[in-house]
Amino acid sequence: MSSGPIAVHRAAVRAASPSPQIELVGVRKVFRDRSSRRGAEVVAVAGADLSVHDGELFAILGPSGSGKTTVLRMIAGFEEPTAGTIRLGGADVTALPARRRDVNTVFQEYALFPHMTVAQNVEYGMKVRGVPRAERRRRTADALDMVRLTDLAPRHPARLSGGQRQRVALARALVGRPRVLLLDEPLGALDLKLREQMQLELKAIQRDVGITFVIVTHDQDEALTLCDRLAVFNDGRIEQIGSSREVYEHPANRFVADFVGTSNVLDGDAARTLLGRSGSFAVRPERIAVLPPGGIGPPGTRTVEATVAEVIYGGSTTRVAAVAAAGTTLTATVLNAAATLPDNLDYGAPVTLAWPEDAVHHLSEVTPDHQPEERP
């Protein structure tokens, strides 16, 4: 599969594009609030600087209203930035309309034509552009083979599962051989089990075709599972950019620590009492062990006595919430197959919580150059 036409095109793109595939420099987007009589400005994106490498699977992660979808729409050309520059393959495309950008977009709804077969849906864009029939058929067959839907080419979308429809949308977007594929919450309409399966398939497809994928999602697990790197957005600003491991294990600030995964954040009296330090710190729940009362961890381990407040069995893991000194509730997530929890682990039971000193990560109050912006 990797030696097909799409893979050959990928090699040509890489040879021609030594610079990052996507660059945002000081990109800002301001909307007018139509519900306000004064037409107050709403800053959707405030000065974003971002580079996405050629062939990278990059995630833009953030809660609703954080600006992530607006960024994707500006990269696609559906929205024009109020200020700043957008480059694709090194070329300034800031003022270029969407149809003239070498970018395709896959939306959550997929937008397949119900009266067309799978093959006709994939072929449609090429037909509109006047690609000769024989070439359309060859490229459609290659794209369907890539997403493992060759046998379903004669079917209509109504006879496909959610995951199959998603793969048709991918094939339709990739058959045009874009430099960049943008995906807006592509797995959001799928149930949990199918979504997890499609995460693996999407990653395999991206690796095989080798072009740049940018995925917008609010799902932290999805971003961590899929991406090479990710940018965490909040309130129109980038809080942190890094690999999945960097962002998870070394969150830049409290927002990232709370939003990407789950963290025990200790500050004020809690930090001084439990850690002997001043400032804000994060400890991931899976780094905390639950021991019998008076338990002692290995060298380099901090221990605190606590009282169980909640025990939640989750199949592969057990989550234990316990109240320690200064009234601080700490949560530990224990892998059931790898650890033995104390007996009689019920509400009110005494336990010892233990974690390595290197599990404590200091949190900055704000990310560099991240200052609150006044909004009219």
Domains and CATH numbers, the chain: 5-102+178-256 (3.40.50.300), 262-363 (2.40.50.100)
pLDDT for the residue numbered 202: 86
Dump pLDDT digits (tens) for 7-45: 544 444 444 444 689 999 999 999 987 766 666 888 999
User: Tokens 């381990």 label which residue?
Assistant: 301
pLDDT for the residue numbered 37: 65
Q: Which of 116, 191, 198 is nearest to 156 (CA)?
A: 116
Dump pLDDT digits (tens) for 134-143: 999 999 999 9
Residues with pLDDT less than 70, the chain: 1-19, 35-39, 189, 365-376
CB 324 within 8 A of CB 306: yes
Measured in residues, the chain has a length of: 376
How far is the CA of 21 from the CAs of 59, 86, 103, in angstroms? 14, 10, 11
3-state secondary structure 290-302: EECCCCCCCCCEE
Structure token pair of residue 24: 């945002």
Work out the mean pLDDT of the chain and round it to a whole number.
87
pLDDT for the residue numbered 156: 94
pLDDT for the residue numbered 229: 95
